[in-house]
Amino acid sequence: MSQHDTNEWYEFNEETIEALTLDGSDTSLPHTIEHHIAGNDFDALEKAALDAFKAGFEVTDAEELILDDGGTVFCFDAIVEKKLDLEAFNADSDKLIAIADKHKVYYDGWGTYFLGEDAIEYDDADDGVDDGAEYYNDDED
């Protein structure tokens, strides 16, 4: 049984794509989508990263984060470029939720960069240099 509610993620996908569209993000352009995967077991997270890579995602190196309560969590991003198409996002969510369930890690949604005339521009290193994108994540959890 999955620890993830697929229907909630489908709703999240729809609401976030709708918000990006209403805010004026350029839907004709592919967006960089960063899906977030986290867990307490580093070995399990590495296996999930390998499966995400095999599923066609670019994966970042795992990072260790210290939580507010002093606990530790490991995480990585599974990255893909695609247009804001709900069916494609739902399919990606299905793939990554299955991978997360298989390795007993947690799928934590996705974010992207707003693309359009009103975007605040950052470079990949987030050092404030303009490059035409504003990070957008409608997940309020």
In 3D space, the residue among 23, 60, 52 whose CA is nearest the CA of residue 135 turns out to be 23
CATH superfamily for 6-136 is RraB-like (3.30.70.970)
Do 62 and 73 meet the contact criterion of CB atoms below 8 Å apart?
A: no
Please identify which residue in the block is written with the tokens 């620890």: 3
Which among 104, 92, 1 is positioned nearest to 43, based on CA atoms? 104
111-126 pLDDT, tens digit per residue, is 887 776 655 454 554 4
Signed CA dihedral, 52, 54, 56, 59: sign only? positive
Note whether 110 and 35 are within 8 A (CB): yes
pLDDT at 80 exceeding the cut of 90? yes
Go through 40-59 and write b for each residue having 16 or more CB atoms within 10 A of its CB, e for each that does not.
eeeebbbbbbebbeeeebeb
34-54 mean pLDDT: 96
pTM for the model: 0.79
Beta bridge partners of 134: 114
Q: Residue 122: what residue type?
A: Y
Domain ranges in the chain are 6-136
